[in-house]
Amino acid sequence: MAVSCLRDIDPANVLPPLTAHHVMRVGNLPMVPHHPPGDVRLAKAVAEIEDGHHAILLANHGPVAAGNTLKDAVHALEELEETANIFLALRGMETRPLTESQVDKIKRRYASRGRP
């Protein structure tokens, strides 16, 4: 995923909350530092990410998504990709991400329906 190669992104949350579906299906997207494929340090970096994320981004590799079902994981990955495309298309332009209040309302409403 190209966004993992950008210099000025927040590794604690790579993509801003540009859409409600991103908040519902992905949420906060942390990025782990780059390590070569197969390097045990990559596995350790992934293991150090706190629980509760629907997806993480492996720097200069790509995304890893999870869910209660395979369908949930696929939806998270699709939404992550769509939000990354929007983010890259708007790069350098002023954006208007959702506010913290809007994000909180979406999370509460989505969680109240029994979804992750």
Question: pLDDT digits over 15-69, tens only?
Answer: 999 999 999 999 999 999 999 999 999 999 999 998 888 899 999 999 999 989 9
Nearest Cα neighbor of 53 from 19, 82, 30 is: 30
Please give the Cα distance from 88 to 97 (Å, whole number): 14
Amino acid at 57: L
Cβ atoms within 10 Å of 68's Cβ, excluding its own: 10
- Full-prediction pTM beyond 0.85? no
| Structural tokens at position 63 | 């995304």
- pLDDT tens, residue by residue, 3-13: 767 777 888 99
Domain containing residue 82: 2-112
Domain count, the chain: 1
CATH number at residue 43: 3.40.225.10
Amino acid 74: pLDDT: 95
